[in-house]
Amino acid sequence: MKVFSTEGFYELIYKNERFSFLQYIRKDIICDVCYITLKNVITGETMTFNQSEIRGLRIAGEEANAS
């Protein structure tokens, strides 16, 4: 998985659901499980994703890459 940047927006496929307009907040490792926290800049909703369940990730405007 690519290194996250605090600039730009991300699109994410998680458990076969697509999320867009996401901004990176932080990465946590808890009990050997990596979690990525992103914020939807349109709705203001903050979401935390288990990195191992992320199926695709891209910076808005780039091609999707499988994790």
Paired tokens of 7: 């600039």
Q: What share of the chain is helix, strand, coil (3-state, %, to 5)?
A: 5, 60, 35
Count the Cβ atoms, other than its own, within 10 Å of residue 46. 12
Residue 5: inside a domain, yes or no? no
Residue 3: inside a domain, yes or no? no
Query: pLDDT tens, 19-67?
Result: 999 999 999 999 999 999 999 999 999 999 999 999 998 887 665 454 4
Residue 39: inside a domain, yes or no? yes
Residue 35: inside a domain, yes or no? yes
Overall domain count for the chain: 1
Query: CA of 57: how far to CAs of 5, 8, 35, in Å?
Result: 13, 13, 14
Q: What pTM was estimated for this model as a whole?
A: 0.77
Domain that holds residue 53: 10-57
